[in-house]
Amino acid sequence: MNVRPEIWVGIDVGKAAHHACAVDETGKTVFSQKIGNDQAAIEALIARAGRAAQRVRWAIDLNSPLALLLITVLLAADQAVTYVPGRVVNTMSHGFRGEAKTDAKDAKVIAETARMRRDLGQVAMPGELVVGLTQLTGYRTDLMSDWVAGINRLRGLLGSIFPALEAAFDYSNRTPLILVAGMCTPAEIRAVGIDGVATYLSDSGAWKPAIGKTAVAAVDAAQRQGLALPGEADTAMLVKRIAAKLLDLDREIKDTDKLITARFRAHPWARIVESLPGMGPGLGAEFLVGTGGDLANFASAGRLASYAGLVPVPRDSGRVSGNLHRPKRYNRRLRRVFYMAALSSLRHENGPSRRFYDRKRGERQIHVQALLALARRLVDVLWALLRDGREFSIDRPALGVVMA
């Protein structure tokens, strides 16, 4: 067997198994095989690649927790691993013959992309804290998806039997959910009256300042509907079940938020990140997850802003120039972090963020454009804070210039 000087091994990451394809410097396939997602199989693949070439470069298309075992084994073996984003793989696959999409073809595309391109980022060993925050924030995202779906389902069902009650309250609050978890038909509410509704809410732990207003509004809605609509009994049963589940889900979300806050504040950057206007523990945790808790891959604030999709790219052609658009390849999660931080920072009426935003609106930028400009400026500020290891203060001359 001829030992090649260098090969590139592309791995199409899967849940139960991966597919690995190795190519040499000419693009010829050295080997292509399916491997299980377990330590022994990955170590055997590393050994095979080591026998085939003097130098092995690895490339993967996924760097999420699903690929954590693969990444850990590769880095523990002192292997250099490159990350090839899925969008890049999809684009590069059009340069290969045929329309078929298989794991083997994807693995080869990943290997060939790593062989031809030199602008791809390297995968580093994720920190324990960042991996934990990745799992917690992902779990919270799933909980919020369930929450939104549950609220929409509840409103749809309640509106079919008691439209006035459905329109009377914001069911993202606990007190209205407690109400409909116990009584949600006009007859039930009329039967107990204002005092009965108020007593039920008080005994069920509703927010005390809202109990009286909620009871009055509920009884008023019940007085305006004297008919029982078809399917009321079964629909009311479903509404009560969904409301009870949403109350439990609300507690789970709040408990998860407390966990995220505690984990985030254990990170050395926590105080600095939270000092930035608009940044709280939730967005701070998302920032750590988006950057991996390490700015080594970003040579400047501009690189970080580009990674977050806050730097427009030109799309000029012929006589058309200065045609700037949002990039297609960027980290959606990180863009959301800075956008939401910019939005939250506007609550401070006389703060530097509000003054910057007002100035951009004065330059005839629409709301979204001004927010994105502010988000881009927050990247510069946060970069300066983390570089200096100091918390935000508008009195600092350097930051005063940045926010101007």
HEC readout, 4-15: EEEEEEEEECCC
In percent, the amount of the chain with pLDDT more than 70 equals 96
Q: Is the pLDDT of residue 1 over 60?
A: no
pLDDT for res 394 = 57
For 113-165, the pLDDT digits (tens) are: 999 988 888 888 878 899 999 999 999 999 999 999 999 999 999 999 999 99
- State the amino acid at position 236 in one-letter form: A
Mean pLDDT of 254-259: 97
Least confident of 74-78, 249-253, 324-328: 324-328
Beta-strand relationship, 313-314 and 324-325: antiparallel
pLDDT of residue 275: 92
The pTM for the full model equals 0.84
- How much is the pLDDT for 213? 96
| 2-12 average pLDDT score | 89
Above pLDDT 90, what percent of the chain? 72
The predicted-structure confidence for 387-403, as pLDDT tens digits, reads as follows: 888 777 655 544 554 55
Alpha-carbon span 96 to 129, nearest angstrom = 40
The pLDDT value recorded for residue 97 is 78
Pairwise CA distance, residues 128 & 139, whole Å = 17
What is the per-residue pLDDT across 257-315, written as a single tens digit (0 to 9) for each? 999 999 999 999 999 999 998 999 999 999 999 988 888 778 889 989 998 999 888 77
Mean pLDDT, the chain, integer: 90
Cβ-contact 44, 36 below 8 angstroms = no
Answer whether residue 317 shows pLDDT above 80: no
Which pLDDT value is given to residue 6? 92
DSSP result, 208-242: HHHHHHHHHHHHHHHHT--PPPTTHHHHHHHHHHH
Say how far apart CA 55 and CA 52 lie, in whole Å.
Answer: 9
In this predicted structure, what is the pLDDT of residue 401? 45
Higher pLDDT, 7 or 97: 7
DSSP of 305-364, one letter per residue?
A: HHHTT-S-EE--BTTB---EE--SSS-HHHHHHHHHHHHHHTTSTTSHHHHHHHHHHHTT
Q: Tell me: the pLDDT tens digits for 338-359?
A: 999 999 999 887 888 999 999 9
Say what the pLDDT of residue 403 is.
Answer: 59
Min mean pLDDT across 20-29, 205-214, 289-298 is at: 289-298
* 83 phi, psi to nearest 5 deg: -100, 120
User: What's the pLDDT score for residue 14?
Assistant: 92
The residue-averaged pLDDT of 176-186 equals: 97
